[in-house]
C-alpha cells in the first residue's frame, strides 16, 4: 500500500477529514453571506450533484441582492 506524504493510513484519513471539514465550513460561510441556508454546502460532497448545486447557486436570484433592490 502506498502512503502519500509519508503518513500512516489513519493520518491520511485524518488529514482528508480536516480538509473536507474546512471546505464545507468555508462554503457554509459564503452561502450564509449570500443569504442561503448553510446546509446547502453538504450538497458539494455528492459527485454530479455538486455541479447542479453550483449552477443553481450561480443562476438563481440571490436574496440579499433582492432586498437591496426594494
Total tally of structural domains belonging to the chain: 1
Tens-digit pLDDT profile for residues 11-57: 889 999 999 999 999 999 988 888 888 898 888 888 899 899 889 88
Nearest CA to 35 out of 70, 59, 66, 7 is that of 66
pTM over 0.75: no
CA distances from 37 to 14, 19, 26, 28, 59 (A): 27, 21, 13, 8, 16
What is the pLDDT, as a whole number, of residue 67? Answer: 61
What is the pLDDT, as a whole number, of residue 1? Answer: 55
Task: Name the residue range of residue 39's domain.
Answer: 6-69
Residue 40 domain flag: yes
Residue 1 domain flag: no
Residue 58 domain flag: yes
Amino acid at each position: 500500500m502506498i502512503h502519500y506524504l509519508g503518513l500512516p493510513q489513519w493520518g491520511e484519513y485524518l488529514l482528508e477529514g480536516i480538509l473536507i471539514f474546512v471546505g464545507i465550513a468555508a462554503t457554509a460561510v459564503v452561502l450564509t453571506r449570500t443569504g442561503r441556508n448553510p446546509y446547502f454546502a453538504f450538497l458539494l460532497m455528492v459527485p454530479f450533484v455538486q455541479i447542479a448545486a453550483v449552477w443553481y447557486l450561480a443562476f438563481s436570484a440571490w436574496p440579499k441582492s433582492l432586498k437591496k433592490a426594494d
